[in-house]
Structure 1
């Protein structure tokens, strides 16, 4: 091969390389992000509300979704089949309450967290796990803190509590965050059925950004205002969106629906949609915890 032929060969290889690179970039750009919802709570019917959100993401926002549920029912604390899906997830959304998952299932959640990918949580996920003192998996009781910048479980030194089931919450946008993309179209104030969670004074963890503030209505004890939605970076370097709202009646509210859809886009690094596809009809009843 002479010099001219050699140069032509290099040019052909370069063109082929650029073509493959361009195709790979195009495929990556067109790839639908996968959102995996992990549900299992005794009280708030997350396994019914979140599939409606998931269907909306697939129908109108170009995403793929998988919804995992406790088995055989929502009160089953020791089994959520299908957590292997987290290996391919671009975002993990948790709505859990006092689970005691086996080590192999916890390992799949831990592997996801260690990737530094984004994490989203609803309400009782502040106390997602409830292992006995001294149990080999006891560290998971602090999931709320290390994954979602929230208190490390219910009660305890953090005094994580609420203001009674007969109370509800007036929600307002924190003025400094009025232009935050997650709050696009989230008109406040609005009234949520969720009874207010107390997370202050030590949570959300330092460095978190508060988005919405809640004021308890008809509290059963002296109440202070508390943040009900925030963002941040967790201990694994992953983006966080957490809300202590999540009563099934909250999902009927357009501001809350928009908050959730916006936050999912933000977590994925996608532009928050300016146009709303319309209010969802979510009619899921509340059930008393066992």
Structure 2
């Protein structure tokens, strides 16, 4: 009996030690790593606000990586080794030319079949010259996010004029999709519509939201602006072609992003919304 009591006491003591250790508690929280570097949409400013909200109200750990020396730096994003511990990688990139050793961290993450999220210009995250040893990364949008493999050309991936904007609606069949919990639609987004049809999103993807160009400079054809699926590595995907800084001011878009992060992590989508975020970040003309 004494041995049994002693064993029980030791188990309770160990449990108390583990629960009382902040470092141990932190390790039970999922780690979301945001990888940013775009010339145009201030992703390195909007996403840290999302990251702070995840830490404050949703029980997550986050790390935000930024292009060096600033958003126009195309060849260096320090800290990508953080992806080795990430439970979710969120990308907002545009035409980077990272060195091979940095790409290796992204490739290692993808090959584990872990979830991936992308915003807008991440369809054309990389832009290596023809014949470069890293040229395959120009198709990152396709193999990682079920999006077109780069911009223009054979991908037929273009957009409506910068003076246009987008009306967003929910795909009726997805009205009860957990990612759309609390996402009131229709809503109006500042982003000019990206054209991904007819070949993308890749077969097997689930379209969540559709967009129609307002004040278009050519025939307005509806295109999906948010979808989910499995990528070529078997990882869960959430991709949206929205992401203008003014989109991040919209409560429906904020809820979409927070919901999608939970979904990617296999967590229940929050039933209780902690409130609209104040995101006031400028748009920059691309160089």
The interval holding the TM-score normalised by the smaller chain is over 0.9
Larger radius of gyration: 1
Distance 1:262 1:210 in 2: 15
Q: Name 1:3's counterpart in structure 2.
A: none
Q: CA deviation at 1:157?
A: 1.1
Partner of 1:243: 240
Separation in 1, partners of 2:207, 2:181? 15
1:68-147 aligned within 5 A: 68-147=65-144
Contact 2:166 2:191 in 1 (8 A): yes
CA deviations over 1:145-187 (Å, ceiling 9, x no partner): 0000000000011210001100000000011000000000000
CA distance in 2, matches of 1:90, 1:210: 24
Which of 175, 178, 181 pairs up with 1:178? Answer: 175
CA distance in 2, matches of 1:219, 1:48: 28
What does the per-residue CA deviation read over 1:116-151, in whole Å, with 9 as the maximum and x for residues that have no partner? 010000000000000000000000000000000000
Structure 2 residue aligned with 1:216, among 213, 216, 234? Answer: 213
What is the match of residue 56 of structure 2? 59
Which residue of structure 1 lines up, in the alignment, with residue 41 of structure 2?
44
1:22 shift after superposition: 8.8
Quote the offset at 1:20 in angstroms: 12
Match of 2:186 in 1: 189
Q: Is it true that 1:255 corresponds to 2:257 in the alignment? A: no
Number of residue pairs matched? Answer: 282
Kindly report the root-mean-square deviation, in angstroms, between the aligned alpha carbons of the 2 structures. 2.4
Aligned to 2:264: 267
Is the contact made by 2:31 and 2:61 (CA closer than 8 Å) also made in structure 1? yes
1:168 aligns with 2:133: no
**Would the aligned equivalents of 2:26 and 2:61 in 1 still touch at CA under 8 Å?**
no
Distance 1:219 1:228 in 2: 16
> Larger deviation: 127-136 or 216-225?
216-225
Structure 1 distance, partners of 2:26, 2:263, is 16
Give 1:254 shift.
Answer: 0.1
Cα separation, 1, equivalents of 2:41 and 2:186: 23
Distance, in Å, in 1 between the alignment partners of 2:77 and 2:274 is 32
Structure 2 regions of 5+ residues with no counterpart? none
Indicate if the aligned counterparts of 2:66 and 2:77 stay in contact, CA closer than 8 A: yes
Find runs of 4+ consecutive structure 1 residues off by over 3 angstroms. Answer: 18-23, 25-30
Task: Note the C-alpha offset of 1:223.
Answer: 2.3
When the two structures are superposed, what TM-score results if normalisation uses the length of structure 2?
0.92
Inter-partner Cα distance in structure 2 for 1:48 and 1:235: 30
The alpha carbon displacement at 1:28 in A equals 8.7
